[in-house]
A and B are shown apart, each in its own frame.
Chain A
Amino acid sequence: MLDISLGQYYPGNSFIHRLDPRTKILSTLLLIIAVFLANSAIGYGTLCAMVLLIIAVSGLPFMLVLKSVKPLLFIIVLTLVLHALMGQGEHVLYQWKFIRVTEEGLQLGVQMAMRLILLLMISSILTFTTSPIVLTDGIEALLRPFRVIGVPAHELAMMMTIALRFIPTLMEETDRIIKAQTARGADFSGGNLLVRAKNMLPILVPLFISAFRRADDLAIAMEARCYRGGEGRTRMHQLAYRSGDVLAFVFAFAMIGLLAFLRWGLKLV
């Protein structure tokens, strides 16, 4: 139970690790746009090279980043197979009843799968190189302009921070409660869905009670330290753009430009 590592931050001190979280979030969004622009083998090749370059700069083990694809592997394979078997187009390679494998279908399937893999890898590089707390800071800073239309940026960030902070605590608690009820002969496996849900009660009730108790305690502790929301609050770690961040933005926009050129530009030339 306690083996689940929180988030997937991989500590390091690379160029990517040191970037401002706002830069990383925005660049990730820009690179995702770049991925959606790709529509040719050259485009996907460029993107693969780009991801490899970023991984090399970040100092993350390549296999670690590749593993982030695992949770969605089933969907990726399904996408590939469906596109391959239900192909549209003229160059039929194989046909049997309604199954039709075409060159175009295969190509589309590979492209879709590549797109998913690249998206997963790019976004996981963000979470691998940014600790959850810094990420929250970044999100808060990026949401701040939207306060004028009523987005509670600080409150959202505070909620995220608190949630992150309590995940390990609650997991420990869950672990202990499960053990305690197991020692009293509770059985959590077997039975249909309803029986199983009922078996979970001896875990869920104490867990909820303790979560509420902790929330109360935390609220009092925060109030005792004069917390009164985000208004006029200064922070210990000021976010500041540095020259590296400019470089990252230039890189991200260059990628979009390159992919846009590969998509539309080549035809014009």
Chain B
Amino acid sequence: MSIKLDHVSYTYMPGTPYEKEAVKDVSLEIQKGEFVAVIGHTGSGKSTLVQNLNGLLHPTQGTASLDGTDLSGKTGEAKQARGRIGMVFQYPEHQLFAETVYEDVAFGPRNLGLSSEEVEVRVREAMKFVGLDFDTYAPRSPFSLSGGQMRRAAIAGVVAMNPDYLILDEPSAGLDPGSRNNLFAEIMALYKKRGIGIIMVTHSMEEAAKYAKRMLVICKGQIILDGKPAEIFLKEKECLLNAGMDVPEVYKLADALRVKGMRLPYEITDAKLLLAEVKRRKGLK
């Protein structure tokens, strides 16, 4: 079970003066059950890359496949394969259209040709996953919700497709810290309960460090680093800085403390761990 890119290149507007090669000869395999963060600065080609991963863009060269099925095919099989990879775009709340939250979340499952009972089960499940109470919110207009709730409703619309893989393009952009934490708690719950593969594009090194098991660093259309976030942040700081990115603050602080002579282990991935470790070293409670 894996999504595979084989020497994929993607060029926008080939053969015109505006031609731009956004992805260059990328080979990649993502297993079901992985949580992959894709980072890279603006214009590095990360959005183009993930759209090649789910068949929304068809590679100019090379192939993208899911379990051996070419995603750019026109067959029913290819269409079904594309349906197994859910995609949450940036600001997904801008795609809400239906009169009620229920209708909007049900849009995907209905397109799959499910019966109305099955659709309702899917909608209830999806809304529960994103933390929207069914009885309260299902009959309401999606446009009467708050920003955070709208985003959850929109994500529910993708979750209701029951995808094997879920691609999220900057899911936390424009949310306040509270909503952001809630959103990630829900995504992690979904990830753990269903064992799906998650591919998350993000600008935030902190989010990548905190949630992802694997991190891809994209620069100028190519994957320059691929590995565990903690390892990359520890060992490849120079490379990240050169690619226009940074390491999370907690790594910087731990580094500064190490320079001052504090002996800290290298598995520190967030502020709580660092604080506990520092307290332990200093004999504080």
A interface with B by C-beta (< 8 Å): 2-3, 5, 173, 176-177, 179-187, 201-206, 209-210
Residues of B within 8 A of A210 (CB): 94
CB distance from A236 to the nearest CB of B (A): 27
Check B83 against A180 for contact (C-beta < 8 Å): no
Check B111 against A180 for contact (C-beta < 8 Å): no
Identify 15 residue pairs between A and B in the complex whose beta-carbon atoms are under 8 Å apart, listed by A's number.
A2-B12, A3-B16, A176-B95, A177-B94, A177-B95, A180-B89, A183-B86, A183-B87, A184-B111, A184-B157, A185-B112, A202-B107, A205-B97, A206-B94, A210-B94
- CB interface residues, B 121-174, toward A, < 8 Å: 143, 157-158, 161
6 nearest CB pairs, A to B:
A185-B111, A205-B97, A184-B108, A183-B87, A180-B95, A202-B97
Given A3-B13, A176-B94, 8 extra CB contacts under 8 A: A176-B95, A181-B95, A182-B56, A183-B86, A183-B158, A187-B111, A206-B97, A209-B94
Check A185 against B83 for contact (C-beta < 8 Å): yes
- CB interface residues, B 1-25, toward A, < 8 Å: 12-13, 16, 18
Residues of A within 8 A of B183 (CB): none
CB distance from A7 to the nearest CB of B (A): 14
Residues of A within 8 A of B158 (CB): 183-184
* B208 at the A interface (CB under 8 A): no
Check B56 against A179 for contact (C-beta < 8 Å): yes
Residues of A within 8 A of B82 (CB): 183
Which of A2, A173, A186, A209 sits near B143, CB closer than 8 Å?
A: A209
Q: Is the interface on chain B under 10, 10 to 19, 20 to 34, or 35 or more residues?
A: 20 to 34
Residues of B within 8 A of A185 (CB): 83, 108, 111-112, 161
* B66 at the A interface (CB under 8 A): no
CB distance from B122 to the nearest CB of A (A): 12
CB distance from A9 to the nearest CB of B (A): 12
Report the nearest B residue to A3, measured CB to CB.
Answer: B13
Check B83 against A206 for contact (C-beta < 8 Å): no
* B222 at the A interface (CB under 8 A): no
* B92 at the A interface (CB under 8 A): yes
Which of B92, B98, B112 sits near A180, CB closer than 8 Å?
A: B92
Residues of B within 8 A of A176 (CB): 89, 94-95
Report which residue of A3, A177, A183 has the largest number of chain B beta carbons within 10 angstroms of its beta carbon.
A183
CA distance A180 to B125 in the complex (A): 21
Residues of A within 8 A of B108 (CB): 184-185
Residues of A within 8 A of B157 (CB): 184
* B199 at the A interface (CB under 8 A): no
CA distance A205 to B108 in the complex (A): 16
Report the nearest A residue to B109, measured CB to CB.
Answer: A185
* B51 at the A interface (CB under 8 A): yes
Report the nearest A residue to B167, measured CB to CB.
Answer: A183
Residues of A within 8 A of B83 (CB): 185
* B54 at the A interface (CB under 8 A): yes
CA distance A134 to B157 in the complex (A): 45
Residues of A within 8 A of B92 (CB): 180
CB distance from A182 to the nearest CB of B (A): 7
Question: CB-defined interface of B76-106 with A at 8 Å, one 1/0 digit per residue?
Answer: 0000001101110100101111100000000
CA distance A210 to B97 in the complex (A): 11
Residues of B within 8 A of A203 (CB): 97
Report the nearest B residue to A187, measured CB to CB.
Answer: B111
Check A2 against B13 for contact (C-beta < 8 Å): yes
Residues of A within 8 A of B16 (CB): 3, 5
Report the nearest B residue to A177, measured CB to CB.
Answer: B95
CA distance A177 to B97 in the complex (A): 10
CB distance from B226 to the nearest CB of A (A): 25
CB distance from A175 to the nearest CB of B (A): 10
Report the nearest A residue to B108, measured CB to CB.
Answer: A184
CB distance from B86 to the nearest CB of A (A): 7
Report the nearest A residue to B161, measured CB to CB.
Answer: A184
CB distance from A195 to the nearest CB of B (A): 13
CA distance A130 to B85 in the complex (A): 46
Residues of B within 8 A of A186 (CB): 107, 111
Residues of A within 8 A of B18 (CB): 5
Residues of B within 8 A of A3 (CB): 13, 16
CB distance from A170 to the nearest CB of B (A): 12
